[in-house]
Amino acid sequence: MGWFQSLFGNLLKRIPDWDGEERRQAFRVRCDFEIEVQAPGCSYLAHCIDAGPQGLKLKVRGPFVKKILRRGQPIRLRYVEPMYEAELDTVGGAICWVRREGEQMFTLAVGFEDTLDNMRRSWVKPILQKVFKAGSRRNQRRYMRARCQLPGKALMDGKQQDIKITDLSTSGARVSSLQPLEVGAATEIAFEKFALRAIVRRCAPDYGVYRLGLAFSPDSETRKKLVRLIKQLVEVGRMTDPGSNQAF
């Protein structure tokens, strides 16, 4: 708990329902981001659904490797989205418990196990700050994002290629593409009435398509327009099934 209090003490004092050591131990907030769990000989892309002072609760889809997925197993936790606020995208951890929930589906609880300096320099600090602020119902507009299915174009090797934007925020997007892009490469994407320069932060193959993570820094006027679009997409999402799987 020492590292947690060191990093988040001032923030947590401002949360009205933060009360005492017992509350610190039990404080959990719902969240929605992706983490790569790296273990010896394998890795999993996991959906984080819950975060707290001691670690994360993850939903995972993939083969269950019994000799690896066990309590106490050392792992590495890599944040897969674009991240400007941190030097390190990976921290150490360990598996606390595993619960199988079906064929190739399980829930994983992981604890943070790294030095205070690494935690301070990693994705953990900025991401958990955002999570806790959202959990306290403050500052939510700043971190607006929307799941979507927006067609667009991306500049790849000097040619325009079709893409589909599946998640959009004011600082980046998740994109599906039939063509890969090198991580770190600069590109341009066009969708709706927007044309944005972007940096590729992630590119992973996924059953015949590539899942890209793009980061961009729009000017203030473009950001305002993006906020309006995201609000519209959020409203549309409330009237449709956000969990539907649409083919690329």
State the pLDDT at residue 10: 55
What confidence category does residue 204 fall into, taking pLDDT thresholds of 50, 70 and 90?
very high
Give residue-wise pLDDT tens across range 96-148: 999 998 788 999 999 999 988 888 889 888 888 777 766 554 434 445 778 89
Alpha-carbon distance 32 to 48, whole Å?
A: 6
Nearest to 148 by CA among 171, 162, 168, 176: 168
Compute, in degrees rounded to 10, the torsion defined by CA atoms 172, 248, 61, 173: 0
**Is 172 within 8 Å of 197 (Cβ atoms)?**
no
Q: In the predicted model, is pLDDT for residue 73 greater than 90?
A: yes
- Which two tokens mark 21? 């050591």
All structural domains of the chain, each given as residue ranges with its CATH number in brackets, are: 2-140 (2.40.10.220), 144-239 (2.40.10.220)
State the pLDDT at residue 4: 56
**Is 91 within 8 Å of 122 (Cβ atoms)?**
yes
- Which two tokens mark 43? 């890795």
What confidence category does residue 3 fall into, taking pLDDT thresholds of 50, 70 and 90?
low
Q: In the predicted model, is pLDDT for residue 244 greater than 50?
A: no
State the pLDDT at residue 134: 64
Burial (CB count within 10 angstroms: exposed 0-12, middle 13-18, buried 19+), residue 54: middle
Q: In the predicted model, is pLDDT for residue 241 greater than 50?
A: no
User: pTM, whole model, 2 decimals?
Assistant: 0.50
State the pLDDT at residue 146: 85
Nearest to 99 by CA among 67, 60, 54: 60
State the pLDDT at residue 234: 77
What confidence category does residue 38 fall into, taking pLDDT thresholds of 50, 70 and 90?
very high
Q: In the predicted model, is pLDDT for residue 28 greater than 50?
A: yes
Task: Please give the single-letter amino acid code of residue 189.
Answer: I
What confidence category does residue 6 fall into, taking pLDDT thresholds of 50, 70 and 90?
low
Give residue-wise pLDDT tens across range 151-197: 999 988 788 999 999 999 988 999 999 999 999 999 999 999 999 99
Give residue-wise pLDDT tens across range 45-67: 999 988 877 789 999 988 888 88
**Is 51 within 8 Å of 93 (Cβ atoms)?**
no
Give φ, ψ of 145 to 5 degrees.
Answer: -155, 160
Cα 49–Cα 52–Cα 58 angle in degrees, nearest 5: 30
3-state secondary structure of 76: strand
Task: Please give the single-letter amino acid code of residue 155.
Answer: L
State the pLDDT at residue 140: 43
Which residues are 203's β-sheet partners? Answer: 212
State the pLDDT at residue 75: 95
